[in-house]
C-alpha cells in the first residue's frame, strides 16, 4: 500500500542516501506522478528537511545540511549498527547514552529482539575514556592548523602543532609536533586536560608516512605469561585490548598494547592463576608496586 505517509518515509529514505535524484527517477521509484512528488517534497520542507532542487532537464533533488537536526529514517541494518556503536560509547559519554535511549525507544519489535540479543552477549570495559569535548577541540584545531596548549599528566604548558587524532587498539592518541622539544610526539587523549587554542596558526610540515602513526602510538607492549591454558585464562582476563595465545598445553601468553600499566598489573593479578610479567620495565615496576601495597595491607599492625 503506497499511502501518503509510507510514500513520504520512502522518499525521505531515498534522499538520505546523499545523492542528487532526478525528479523522474524519484517519481518512478515511488510510483507516483511528478505533481504528487513536488507536493511530498514541499511537505518534507515543512517538517524541517532542507531539500534542495536543481534546475535542468526534469530537475533533481537532494538533502543538504540545515540549521537543525531533523529525524532520520534508518534501514534495519543501519539501526542495528547505530545501536551497537552507541552502546560501546554510552559507558563513557552521556551524549551517546542519551542518543542510545532515544533510538531504543522507537525501535520496532522485530529490531528490539535483535538488539536484546546483541546486548546480552556484548560486554564493554570502559576506563579512562577521553573527554569528547577535548577530542572535538583537538580535531578542529588540527583541521584549521592552529597551535594548541594543554596540560598532560599534570605537566602544564605543553605547546604543540596538532596533526591527527588516531584511534589505535581502542585508545585515542594525538599525533603532534612538540614545539618545545622540536620533535614528533604522541599523547594519550584521555590524559590531556585544560586545552587552549590561542589562535596562532602553523604551516604544515612534511607529510607523515602512515607507518609513523602506528609506530608513534604503539610503544612498548606488555607481555604476561600465565601458567594455565587459554580456556581458563580467557574468561577471567577482563582486558580491553590485546592478544591471548597458547604457548603450550598448560601455558598461554597475553600481549597488550601500550596502556595504563597499573591497571594492567591489577588485571593480571585478578586472573587468579600463577603468572610472570615479562615486560616492559614499566609493567614490571607497577607489578612490584602492587605486590608491595598488598604486603603492607596484610602486614600485622604494631601494637598502639
pLDDT of residue 300: 79
- Residue 253 · residue 225 · CB < 8 Å: yes
Report helix, strand or coil for 229: coil
Residues of the chain above pLDDT 90, percent: 18
Q: Which residue has the cell 608496586?
A: 289
- Residue 127 · residue 120 · CB < 8 Å: no
Report helix, strand or coil for 246: strand
216-268 pLDDT tens trace: 555 678 899 999 999 999 888 876 567 888 998 899 999 887 666 888 888 89
pLDDT of residue 9: 74
CA–CA–CA angle 210, 193, 267 (5° rounding):
75
Cα–Cα distance, 295 to 127 (Å, whole number): 26
pLDDT beyond 80 at 79: no
**Where along the chain do the CATH 1.10.10.10 domains lie?**
4-63
Q: Right CATH number for 132-217 from 1.50.10, 2.30.30, 3.10.450, 1.10.260? A: 2.30.30
Instruction: Summarize the chain as % helix, strand, coil (round to 5).
Output: 45, 25, 35
**Where along the chain do the CATH 3.30.70 domains lie?**
222-298
Q: Name beta bridge partners: 152.
A: 155, 192
3-26 pLDDT tens trace: 666 777 778 778 777 778 888 888
Q: Name beta bridge partners: 246.
A: 252
Residues in the chain: 304
**Where along the chain do the CATH 2.30.30 domains lie?**
132-217
The rounded mean pLDDT for the chain is 79
* Alpha helix (H) residue ranges in the chain: 4-15, 23-30, 34-46, 76-90, 94-105, 109-121, 132-144, 210-218, 230-233, 261-270, 281-298
Calculate the CA 62 to chain-centre distance: 29
Report helix, strand or coil for 36: helix
Q: Which residue has the cell 533533488?
A: 61
Q: Which residue has the cell 577535548?
A: 134
pLDDT tier, 82 (very low <50, low <70, confident <90, very high otherwise): confident
Tell me the CATH class for 222-298. Answer: alpha beta
Of 192, 132, 117, nearest in space to 160 by CA:
192
pLDDT of residue 289: 92
pLDDT tier, 148 (very low <50, low <70, confident <90, very high otherwise): very high
pLDDT tier, 1 (very low <50, low <70, confident <90, very high otherwise): very low
Q: Right CATH number for 4-63 from 1.10.10.10, 2.120.10.30, 3.40.50.920, 3.40.50.1100? A: 1.10.10.10
The pTM score is 0.50
CA–CA–CA angle 152, 139, 154 (5° rounding):
5
Cα–Cα distance, 122 to 117 (Å, whole number): 9
Amino acid at each position: 500500500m503506497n499511502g501518503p505517509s509510507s510514500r513520504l518515509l520512502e522518499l525521505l529514505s531515498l534522499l538520505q542516501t546523499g545523492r542528487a535524484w532526478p525528479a523522474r527517477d524519484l517519481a518512478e521509484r515511488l510510483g507516483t506522478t511528478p505533481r504528487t512528488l513536488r507536493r511530498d517534497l514541499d511537505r518534507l520542507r515543512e517538517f524541517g528537511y532542507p531539500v534542495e532542487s536543481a534546475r535542468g532537464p526534469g530537475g533533481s533533488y537532494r538533502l543538504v545540511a540545515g540549521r537543525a537536526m531533523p529525524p532520520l529514517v534508518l534501514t534495519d541494518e543501519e539501526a542495528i549498527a547505530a545501536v551497537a556503536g552507541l552502546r560501546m560509547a554510552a559507558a563513557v559519554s552521556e551524549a551517546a547514552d542519551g542518543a542510545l535511549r532515544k533510538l531504543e525507544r522507537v525501535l520496532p519489535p522485530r529490531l528490539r529482539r535483535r538488539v536484546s540479543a546483541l546486548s546480552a552477549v556484548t560486554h564493554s570495559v570502559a576506563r579512562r575514556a577521553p573527554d569528547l569535548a577535548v577530542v572535538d577541540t583537538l580535531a578542529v584545531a588540527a583541521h584549521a592548523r592552529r597551535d594548541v596548549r594543554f596540560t598532560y599528566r599534570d605537566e602544564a604548558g605543553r605547546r604543540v602543532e596538532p596533526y591527527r587524532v588516531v584511534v589505535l587498539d581502542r585508545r585515542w592518541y594525538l599525533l603532534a609536533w612538540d614545539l618545545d622539544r622540536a620533535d614528533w610526539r604522541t599523547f594519550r587523549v584521555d590524559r590531556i586536560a585544560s586545552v587552549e587554542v590561542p589562535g596562532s596558526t602553523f604551516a604544515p610540515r612534511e607529510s607523515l608516512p602512515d607507518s609513523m602513526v602506528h609506530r608513534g602510538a604503539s610503544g612498548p607492549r606488555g607481555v604476561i605469561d600465565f601458567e594455565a591454558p587459554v580456556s581458563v585464562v580467557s574468561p577471567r582476563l577482563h582486558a580491553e585490548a590485546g592478544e591471548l595465545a597458547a604457548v603450550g598445553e598448560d601455558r598461554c601468553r597475553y600481549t597488550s598494547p601500550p596502556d595504563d600499566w597499573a591497571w594492567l598489573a591489577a588485571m593480571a593479578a585478578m586472573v587468579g592463576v600463577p603468572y610472570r610479567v615479562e615486560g616492559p620495565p614499566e609493567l614490571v615496576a607497577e607489578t612490584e608496586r602492587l605486590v608491595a601495597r598488598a604486603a603492607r595491607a596484610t602486614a600485622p599492625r604494631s601494637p598502639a
